[in-house]
Each structure stands twice: as C-alpha cells, then as structure tokens.
Copies of this chain bind each other. A is one copy, B any other.
Amino acid sequence: MKYSIGEFSKLTNLGIHTLRYYEQEHLITPERDSGNRRCYTDQDIAWIDFIKRLKDTGMPIKEIRKYAELRAEGDSTLSERMEMLISHRKVLNEQIKQLREHMRKLDEKIDFYRRENSEKIQLKLKK
C-alpha cells in the first residue's frame, strides 16, 4: 500500500510537519508521485517505528540520521549498522540500570516521608 503524507501522519501519529522535518534531516526519504507528492509505504511504517524506538531511548536525531544514511546505502553497511545497534544496546542497558537505581532511591525517600508523616500524626494525637 501507498500512503499520502496525511494518511501516513495518522498511521504513525507523527504530525505532517514532523514528517517533513524528518525528511529534511534525512531520516526518511519517501518516493514522490507524478505531482511531486510524497508516497509512503508499509516498510516506512516499520522504519518510523524503529526511529521512534531509537528516539525514545535517547538517541539524538543526528545519530539516527547516520544510521538512516547507512541503511540507505544498502547491504554493504550491514555490519556497521549492527555495531551501532550493539553499542546502543549498551547505552540502553545502562539507562535501565540507572532508572532502577533512581527508583530505589525514590522509594527510600517515599519511605522516609511516610515515617516523617506518621511521626507528625503521633505528635498531633499526643497534643
């Protein structure tokens, strides 16, 4: 199937402006029809999903762009792309570890508050 930018925008939940911006940044390069309109494909949906994933895990547009450009070059860049993913995997792993630590500390703080609060309540009851 082929999609106009409007349809594709709905399918991906990315604004039309954002899609054009991504094109400008070389993240995605849809074909054009006879009237110069963008034609997005089903593969493009999967590709945008992947871009979103990279974004959600903190990869800046510039680096996603590097990946996208390698991808556009074809199979000869497969191993280079794999290296990028493996190195990104490490980053992701670190992030998860960090968040767990943050969660732990947050729980400590919540516990502390709970204790503080119940002490305050004890005091109020004594009064």
Contacts and interface: CB of A to CB of B under 8 A. Distances in A.
A106 B120 contact: no
* Central interface residue in A82, A105, A114, by most chain B CB within 10 Å: A82
Contacts of A86: 110
Number of copies: 2
Interface residues of A, number: 32
Given A110-B89, A113-B78, A116-B78, A102 B57 contact: yes
Interface string A64-103: 0000000000010011011001101100110110111011
A25 interface: no
A85 B113 contact: yes
Contact of A53 (B79, B93, B106): B106
B117 A79 contact: yes
